[in-house]
Amino acid sequence: MTRIISFLGQRLLFIVPQLFGILLVSFFLIKSIPGDPAVLMLGPMASTDAVVSLRTKLGLDHALPIQFWHFLVNLVHGDLGTSWQTTRPVLEDLLQRFPATLELVTLGLLGAIIIGVPLGVASAFDEKGILGRVAGVYGLTAGSLPDFWLALVLIFVFYTILQIVPAPLGRLDFAILPPPTISGFLIFDSIAAGDWAALGSALTHLCLPVLTLSLINAGPILKMTQSTMDRMLQSDFSRYEVLSGLPHRMVVRHALRNSLPSIVTIISVLYGYLLGGAVLVEIVFSWGGAGQYAVQGVLNSDIYPVLGFVLFSAIFSLIVYLIVDIVYVAIDPRIGR
Amino acid sequence: MDKQRLLRNGPSRMDEWMSTSSTVATPSWIGTALRIASARPSFAAGYIIVFVAVLAGALAPLVAPYNPIEADPSQFLQPPNRLHWLGTDAVGMDIFSRVLYGPRIDITIAVLGTMVSATVGCLVGAWVGYFSRAGNFRSRIAFLIMRLADVLQAFPVFVFAIALVASLGQSIQTVVFAIAFVNIPIYLRLMRSQVMAIREMRYVEASLVAGMSDMQTILRHVIPNAMGPALAQLSVNVGWSILLTAGLSFVGAGVRAPSPEWGSMIATGFQNVVTGEWWPSVFPGLALAITVFGFSLVGNSVEVFGDPVKIRRLIRDVTLRERTRAARRRA
Amino acid sequence: MLKLSDRVQATAASSDARPTFDIRGLTVEFPAITGVPTVAIRNLDLRIERGEIFGLVGESGAGKTTLARSLLRLPPEPGRIAGGELLFEGQDIMSLTEVELQRTRGRDISMIVPNPRSELNPLLTVGEQIANVAQVHLRVSRREARGLALDILRAVQIPDPERRMTAFPHEMSGGMAQRIVIAIALICSPKFIVSDDATSGLDVTVQAQILELLRRLAQDRGSAMLFITRDIGITAHFCDRVAVIYNGEIMELAGREDFFFRPAHPYTIMLMAAFSYNQSLRRLWARPEPLPGAKVHDSACPYTLRCPLAQERCRIDRPALREIAPGHYASCHFPVRR
């Protein structure tokens, strides 16, 4: 147990310089995007004096390293800066939008796991069978589909033609008031408030984007499950189990257990990736999530939303990887003891 | 003793009972390829798709019935018909012609980006892997490079790519650069882990003992033996880069409309899909999906050819098929 | 020594004449991309009598592992059993269904594998792995299976067996892991054990201990054993009958005394000479290795290229295994006699 703690301690030591590096790179990257926020904020008709005074107010007249230093000092005090597009503190914006993205991505990933892992196991179980063939084709196809295009096709089928889901505009119907925010996850909040209309609306709005993300991301999970299971079933120890006369089911079960570290890894990588990677789906469904917020920031020289988003998602990925490392220790006796 | 034997039997006699291969003639390259294709039709499909896509791009000016960026406002949003096989978009551009021109931009960007990232990533990765346990100044640089890769990989890929394109100005070159940049860590890591294993091999030691410099050893012995996984990654990576290119254009940070690029075509057709005109978005998306599918099939085949276990299974399947077919013919 | 051979003859005479394992015309092929398969085991006949320990010696590539695994109908990938019968207690292994086959493996016929540390599942404790086999084949409860596992760990003389039950394979030495694999092979008291190069990779002292243990346990349980090895010296101490395999065919087969005192096949003599201090003897019987890829024609004796006694006939006429003295077989036109 103490070893696990010292292992985690080592990991945490690396996180601080890593976060610093991420912020440094993104700060200078966004700053190098042409376009003066002061001019963009005031519009093209503003007088030079107004622009200059705004630049001073925003601290834009300082040299870049000093601006970065100011950002870091503010960060330590819990201030992530202000977005000139929404004119609100970035922290507030993110606290509102991050749960939206997280809810979407988590459900999408869960769906992907539910599709991917059993199919992968089934295809390793019976390579030449129907399920094996379906899994083989699916694994190849899913990775080739552009998610934003699949989202469009789903909208066309389920909204335009069948009309069984609401229009792809946000997380709730316009007519429905959002439940009081507790966690930011609409499903939890509406259940907590006992607001069944909001829950129903939230669920129907979640349907298509979650389905899109599940269908697409089941691909990599399926492939990883399939190839690792395949390798494990070909391995010396599986062959030895067969030679020892253990039943096929037991051999497959053991192979699955030995495959778990790889499967967990791909899931964690996908989770981290999807925070920013689901942005195209967010845009298609006007989700108003954190990814969309950051992309708007990049496209409009609005630096603080981008930095905030990068910081949030980096911390989130680090937490996920940390959990994964703990899971490894639990699964594999060779690690960390 | 051997000489006497030879004299006694004569060389012709030797030939008769000693042959380096079996009695059947060595099969031709094409013959082997065809036999593999019959056992793994998906491999053949992959190469054919990629070939057709590249051909479509190359011959687009000859084949396309319309100018891809010429709008005919009188012909807007026509469903697929005899004049416009895949219909027209909201400003009246012919979708079939635009889809044909697509590979020119998408495949070019993706292939260039992948090549650049693979070259840089593999060279740096080999260097880093070779020196990371050297315990001197160079190993410290290697350590720093890996931490930098960590930082770059901690970025959300898509936001990072958009930021790169935005800061360098929108053009095809910047998209290539952005794609190359976000892919470098993949090759860097693959190569590093391979090289770190190969570094311990005796033949590397032997090469150093024989007086070769570190650089000569890396180039002659280490890199050729470590290339396998990176090569298998290439084709899949091209497919993925095509998706990324299209995604960038979809949010307006890549190739600008009205250039005939699949992602931006899907984006411009977005509003029409919601109102029921599906063709401006669906056809470029299909072309995109099929092309990426082709590249991942090719990647699959490369992976199989590079893996002794998988190639053994392939050989078994090829021979089994032929045996059953021969048996059926006899029956 | 005398006692041992007496025992063999006694068992052969007393019980019914049916051998424990009777291999008839076994052929195993490996498909090649050229279309002409490589034959790893060619039309091989072998009878393993009840309770005997049968030694099979061969160099690497001779087909030892292929033969061992084919007896359990699981030849190495992508090999295929192309023909022959594998009669175990009169029942043909080739005709069993998958389920029957699974029940036979590990319970009636078990296998001892080489390099056991990579053959054991790295994520399960050795106790679990032994108990699994017992639970599946003996249909006992989990608790009883654990008890049996503990007993067998004691029997293979593992120190502190209670603690070893919860150890993982990576925590064991090679010799320890080899004992675990032997324990798994013996826990169901099988009628037939195939040992494939079980003691390669072990220190010589450990090797001797493990062989002694293996012989005693096999005899206690009345199991017959096919002991496959590349070390001809081991068979001299350990086996009742010995055969030499080369290129997938039996070259010579005899009782231990005959085999070591009156070897007849040039290949056997070469193998023995290789252990000798006598340089000239070695030089006399060994010839330079043929070039890689050099193959003899199907109608020639497979050993021609390396045989110092090869003559015209050897290149045209492939010799068959024939009895050159009672119980002594050789596959050679010109066996050495003295």
Residues C277-303 pLDDT 10s: 777 787 778 777 666 666 677 788 888
Whether A243 sits inside 8 A of C72 (CB atoms) is yes
Residue ranges, chain B, pLDDT below 70: 1-27
For residue B244, the model assigns a pLDDT of 92
Query: Between residues C232 and B15, which one has the greater pLDDT?
Result: C232
**Residue A37 in this model has a pLDDT that exceeds 80:** no
Judging contacts by C-beta atoms under 8 Å, the chain B residues touching residue A284 are 270
For residue B22, the model assigns a pLDDT of 39
Whether A276 sits inside 8 A of B167 (CB atoms) is no
Q: Which two tokens stand for residue A33?
A: 């995007």
**Residue C201 in this model has a pLDDT that exceeds 80:** no
The sign of the CA dihedral B144, B148, B149, B151 is positive
For residue C7, the model assigns a pLDDT of 43
d(Cα A98, Cα A100) in Å, to the nearest integer?
5
d(Cα C68, Cα C44) in Å, to the nearest integer?
13
A246: phi then psi, degrees, rounded to nearest 5: -75, 145
Whether B163 sits inside 8 A of A29 (CB atoms) is yes
d(Cα A168, Cα A270) in Å, to the nearest integer?
24
**Residue A219 in this model has a pLDDT that exceeds 80:** yes
* DSSP assigned state of A158: I
3-state secondary structure of A326: helix
Residue type, B16: E
For chain B, say whether C286 makes contact (Cβ under 8 Å): no
Instruction: Yes or no: say if A214 and A147 are a contact pair by the CB < 8 Å rule.
Output: no
Choose among C80, C294, C299: nearest Cβ to B20.
C294
Judging contacts by C-beta atoms under 8 Å, the chain C residues touching residue B319 are 31-33, 35, 37
Residue of chain A nearest C78, judged by CA positions: A234
Instruction: Yes or no: say if B262 and A149 are a contact pair by the CB < 8 Å rule.
Output: no
For residue A234, the model assigns a pLDDT of 87
Token match 């060595």: residue?
B26
Whether A241 sits inside 8 A of C115 (CB atoms) is no
Cα distance from A331 to chain C (closest Cα, Å)?
A: 8
**Exposure class string for B155-193: b at 16+ Cβ within 10 A, else e:** bbbbbbbbbbbbbbebebebbbbbbbbbbbbbbbbbbbe
Is the N-terminal amide bond of C308 cis, ω within 30° of 0?
no
Q: Which of A42-46, A155-159, B206-210, C196-200 has the lowest mean pLDDT?
A: A42-46
Mean pLDDT over A153-178 rounds to 88
Q: Which two tokens stand for residue A319?
A: 């937490």
Query: Between residues A265 and A14, which one has the greater pLDDT?
Result: A265
Token match 């597009």: residue?
A85
pLDDT digits (tens, 9 = 90+) for C65-89: 899 999 999 998 888 898 899 999 8
Report the relative pairing of strands C53-57 and C241-246 from DSSP bridges: parallel
Which whole-number Å values give the CA distances from A320 to A266, A269, C41, in the listed order? 12, 9, 53
Instruction: Yes or no: say if B230 and B291 are a contact pair by the CB < 8 Å rule.
Output: no
Token match 């890996």: residue?
B146
For residue C9, the model assigns a pLDDT of 43
Residue of chain A nearest C132, judged by CA positions: A246
3-state secondary structure of A48: helix
d(Cα C111, Cα A242) in Å, to the nearest integer?
11
Q: Which two tokens stand for residue C280?
A: 């000239």
Q: What is the number of CB-based contacts under 8 A between chain B and chain C? A: 58
Query: Between residues A337 and A259, which one has the greater pLDDT?
Result: A259
For residue B229, the model assigns a pLDDT of 83
Confidence tier at C34 by pLDDT (50, 70, 90): low
Whether A258 sits inside 8 A of C133 (CB atoms) is no
For residue B295, the model assigns a pLDDT of 93
Whether A279 sits inside 8 A of B251 (CB atoms) is yes
**Residue A306: enclosing H or E segment and its boundaries?**
helix A303-331
d(Cα A166, Cα B169) in Å, to the nearest integer?
38
Whether A146 sits inside 8 A of B281 (CB atoms) is no
Average pLDDT, chain A: 86
d(Cα A21, Cα A254) in Å, to the nearest integer?
41
Distance of CA C164 to the CA centre of its chain: 29
**Residue A337 in this model has a pLDDT that exceeds 60:** no
DSSP string of C158-225, one letter each residue: -SSHHHHHT--GGGS-HHHHHHHHHHHHHTT--SEEEEESTTTTS-HHHHHHHHHHHHHHHHHTT-EE
Q: What is the number of CB-based contacts under 8 A between chain A and chain B? A: 148
Whether B266 sits inside 8 A of A306 (CB atoms) is no
C101: phi then psi, degrees, rounded to nearest 5: -60, -45
Burial, A154: exposed, middle or buried (Cβ in 10 Å; 0-12, 13-18, 19+)?
A: buried
Judging contacts by C-beta atoms under 8 Å, the chain C residues touching residue B312 are 77-78
Query: Between residues B91 and C11, which one has the greater pLDDT?
Result: B91
**Residue A289: enclosing H or E segment and its boundaries?**
none
For residue B6, the model assigns a pLDDT of 37
Whether C35 sits inside 8 A of B27 (CB atoms) is yes
For residue B26, the model assigns a pLDDT of 55
Whether B296 sits inside 8 A of A294 (CB atoms) is no
**Exposure class string for A98-124: b at 16+ Cβ within 10 A, else e:** bbbbbbbbbbbbebbbebbbebbbbbb
For residue C5, the model assigns a pLDDT of 43
Choose among A34, A144, A298: nearest Cβ to B289.
A144
d(Cα A24, Cα A17) in Å, to the nearest integer?
10
First to last CA, chain B: 53
Whether B21 sits inside 8 A of C34 (CB atoms) is yes
Average pLDDT, chain C: 85
Question: Which runs of consecutive H residues, i.e. helices, occur in C239-278?
Answer: 256-261, 266-273
Chain A (225-284) residues lying within 8 Å, Cβ to Cβ, of chain C: 234, 236-237, 239-248, 250, 254, 257-258
d(Cα B297, Cα B301) in Å, to the nearest integer?
6
d(Cα C320, Cα C44) in Å, to the nearest integer?
11
For residue C116, the model assigns a pLDDT of 81
d(Cα C147, Cα B145) in Å, to the nearest integer?
55
d(Cα C162, Cα C127) in Å, to the nearest integer?
9
Chain A (34-93) residues lying within 8 Å, Cβ to Cβ, of chain B: 34
pLDDT digits (tens, 9 = 90+) for C159-183: 899 999 999 998 888 888 988 998 9
Closest residue by Cα to residue B125 from B184, B181, B188: B188
The complex scores an ipTM of 0.86
**Residue A147: enclosing H or E segment and its boundaries?**
helix A147-154
**Residue C310 in this model has a pLDDT that exceeds 80:** yes
d(Cα C242, Cα C58) in Å, to the nearest integer?
11
For residue A3, the model assigns a pLDDT of 65
Whether A144 sits inside 8 A of B292 (CB atoms) is yes
- Chains touching A (at least 3 CB pairs under 8 A) are B, C
For chain B, say whether C77 makes contact (Cβ under 8 Å): yes
**Residue C6 in this model has a pLDDT that exceeds 50:** no
Instruction: Report the residue of A15, A144, A238 to disrupt the B interface, i.e. the one with the largest count of B CBs within 10 Å.
Output: A144
d(Cα C48, Cα A28) in Å, to the nearest integer?
78
d(Cα C235, Cα C252) in Å, to the nearest integer?
14
- Chains touching B (at least 3 CB pairs under 8 A) are A, C
Q: What is the number of CB-based contacts under 8 A between chain A and chain C? A: 68
CATH pick for A95-288 out of 3.40.1350, 1.10.3470, 1.10.3720, 1.25.40: 1.10.3720
3-state secondary structure of C44: strand
For chain B, say whether C39 makes contact (Cβ under 8 Å): no
* SS3 sequence of chain B: CHHHHHHHHCHHHHHHHEECCCCCCCCCHHHHHHHHHHHCHHHHHHHHHHHHHHHHHHHHHHHCCCCCCCCCHHHCCCCCCCCCCCCECCCCCEHHHHHHHHHHHHHHHHHHHHHHHHHHHHHHHHHHHHHCCCCCHHHHHHHHHHHHHHHHHHCCHHHHHHHHHHHHCCCHHHHHHHHHHHHHHHHHHHHHHHHHHHHCCHHHHHHHHCCCCHHHHHHHHHHHHHHHHHHHHHHHHHHHHHHHHHHHHHCCCCCCCCCCCHHHHHHHHHHHHHCCCCHHHHHHHHHHHHHHHHHHHHHHHHHHHHCHHHHHHHHHHHHHHHHHHHHHHHC
- What angle do the packed helices B41-63 and B95-131 form, to 10 degrees? 130
Q: Which two tokens stand for residue A61?
A: 């007249």
**Residue A4 in this model has a pLDDT that exceeds 60:** yes
Instruction: Yes or no: say if C210 and C240 are a contact pair by the CB < 8 Å rule.
Output: no
- What angle do the packed helices A147-154 and B262-274 form, to 10 degrees? 20
Closest residue by Cα to residue B105 from B150, B155, B69: B69
The number of C-alpha atoms within 13 Å of C205 and in the hemisphere containing its C-beta is: 0
d(Cα B314, Cα C77) in Å, to the nearest integer?
11
Cα distance from B24 to chain C (closest Cα, Å)?
A: 8
Closest residue by Cα to residue B180 from B246, B121, B247, B243: B121
Whether B24 sits inside 8 A of C34 (CB atoms) is yes
Which whole-number Å values give the CA distances from B97 to B62, B77, B106, C195, in the listed order? 10, 15, 15, 69
d(Cα C47, Cα C45) in Å, to the nearest integer?
7
Token match 């790179």: residue?
A25
For chain B, say whether A273 makes contact (Cβ under 8 Å): yes
Choose among A234, A244, A257: nearest Cβ to C105.
A244
Distance of CA B309 to the CA centre of its chain: 22
d(Cα A52, Cα C241) in Å, to the nearest integer?
101
Whether A236 sits inside 8 A of C133 (CB atoms) is no
Residue of chain B nearest A19, judged by CA positions: B151
Residue of chain C nearest A328, judged by CA positions: C123
**Residue C4 in this model has a pLDDT that exceeds 70:** no
Instruction: Report the residue of B167, B262, B304 to disrupt the A interface, i.e. the one with the largest count of A CBs within 10 Å.
Output: B167
Instruction: Report the residue of C30, C34, C301, C313 to disrupt the B interface, i.e. the one with the largest count of B CBs within 10 Å.
Output: C34
Dmax over Cα atoms in chain C, in whole Å? 67
Distance of CA C314 to the CA centre of its chain: 28
